[in-house]
Amino acid sequence: MTVQPTGLADYNFAYLDEPTKRMIRRAILKAIAIPGYQVPFASREMPMPYGWGTGGVQVTASIIGPDDTLKVIDQGADDTTNAVSIRAFFAKVAEVSTTTSTAEATIIQTRHRIPEETLGEGQVLVYQVPIPEPLRFLEPRETETRKMHALEDYGLMHVKLYEDIARNGHIATTYAYPVKVEGRYVMDPSPTPKFDNPKMDQSEALQLFGAGREKRIYAVPPYTSVVSLDFEDYPFEVNRFDEPCALCGAEGVYLDEVVLDDRGGRMFVCSDTDHCEKRRAAGHRGAMASEGTLA
């Protein structure tokens, strides 16, 4: 993607003023030092509504440099409004190069997915987080939830999983599935599907989480243990899909359901568009892929 130079990046690199970036970097450093702990920070107004990734954008703006390559995904896709807009935003205010390729990116800002391709050392995954507090819907008082984190008083988290099993016969939480980081803090991995939880464990990439409205930053440093909570007799399981991707034939990936018509026609395709495109370019074909086109 190329954007005409506007001079905005010279006025102030990456939109935020320098003292703000310094403040956010300090919060990030503390978050990395205490994996899973939610660090409060002075979230700024951004030129976008809350819920569109203001937290992620501020984290990205604070860590991005002129040599970085940025990829932005929204539910795994590079081509949705949110992803395109944020990519264009940084191309304009930081004049960084952008990409849709997971392997080429140094910073990947994500809304609710972790790319299928394994991330490596030196890459940073920035999550947009709507509600950072995993205990929020169980305990509405922030004063109390902070105390619970401080005292490692996490019995309530299992009450939620117990309720799930009692009502549904299995743990029905499929996204924002709570994890314990490095054996200490219970953390909300943002509303990623629980399918992605195992990818967080011992990841080589640095994972940063920014919640703009809630004014919290937290982090999982590389090579950190991330364990999904469960019961001995109801162990953690990831979602399974009955059929492979209809376009690229991939198995063991997270699929989106796409409704095709009003007569019940549907297809399941990779939620990670970059992964799907690369596979098709390499010659893989799914059941509904027409020759020569990219759906």
Partner 1 sequence: MMTQGDSVSPHPEPIEGRGETANPPLRQAQGDGLPALAEEKPLLSASGVSKFYGSRIGCEDVSIDIWPGEVVAVVGESGSGKTTLLNCISTRLMPTTGTVAYRMRDGQIRDLYRMGEAERRFLMRTDWGFVHQNPADGLRMTVSAGANVGERLMATGARHYGNIRATAGDWLGRVEIAEDRIDDQPRAFSGGMRQRLQIARNLVTGPRLVFMDEPTGGLDVSVQARLLDLLRGLVTDLGLAVVVVTHDLAVARLLSHRMVVMKDGRVIETGLTDRVLDDPRAPYTQLLVSSILQA
Catalytic residues: 36, 245, 248, 270, 276
CB of 143 to partner 1, least distance (A): 13
Task: With CB under 8 A as the rule, give the number of residues binding partner 1.
Answer: 19
- 29 versus 150: smaller Cβ distance to partner 1: 150
CB of 151 to partner 1, least distance (A): 4
Contact 215, 129 (CB under 8 A): no
When asked if residue 234 is in the footprint of partner 1 (CB under 8 A), the reply is yes
**Which amino acid, one-letter code, is at 254?**
Y
Site string for partner 1, 130-169 (x = CB under 8 A): -----------------x---xxxxxx-xx--xx-xxx--
When asked if residue 233 is in the footprint of partner 1 (CB under 8 A), the reply is yes
When asked if residue 240 is in the footprint of partner 1 (CB under 8 A), the reply is no
When asked if residue 236 is in the footprint of partner 1 (CB under 8 A), the reply is no
Quickly list DSSP for 85-149: HHHHHHHHHT--EE-S-TTT-SEEEEES---SSPP-TT-EEEEE-S---TTTTT---HHHHHHHH
- 26 versus 160: smaller Cβ distance to partner 1: 160
Could you give the strand order of the β-sheet that contains 107-111, starting from the edge strand earlier in sequence? 39-40, 216-220, 206-211, 124-128, 107-111, 69-74, 97-98
CB of 162 to partner 1, least distance (A): 5
Tokens of 176: 């924002």
CB of 173 to partner 1, least distance (A): 14
Q: State the DSSP code for 291.
A: T
Contact 92, 286 (CB under 8 A): no
Residue 172 main-chain phi, psi, to 5 deg: -90, 0
When asked if residue 261 is in the footprint of partner 1 (CB under 8 A), the reply is no
Tokens of 89: 């935003």
CB of 164 to partner 1, least distance (A): 10
160 alpha-carbon distance from chain centroid: 23
When asked if residue 22 is in the footprint of partner 1 (CB under 8 A), the reply is no
Site string for partner 1, 89-128 (x = CB under 8 A): ----------------------------------------
- 167 versus 263: smaller Cβ distance to partner 1: 167
Residue 237 main-chain phi, psi, to 5 deg: -135, 145
Q: Which chain residues interact with partner 1 by CB under 8 A?
A: 147, 151-156, 158-159, 162-163, 165-167, 230-234
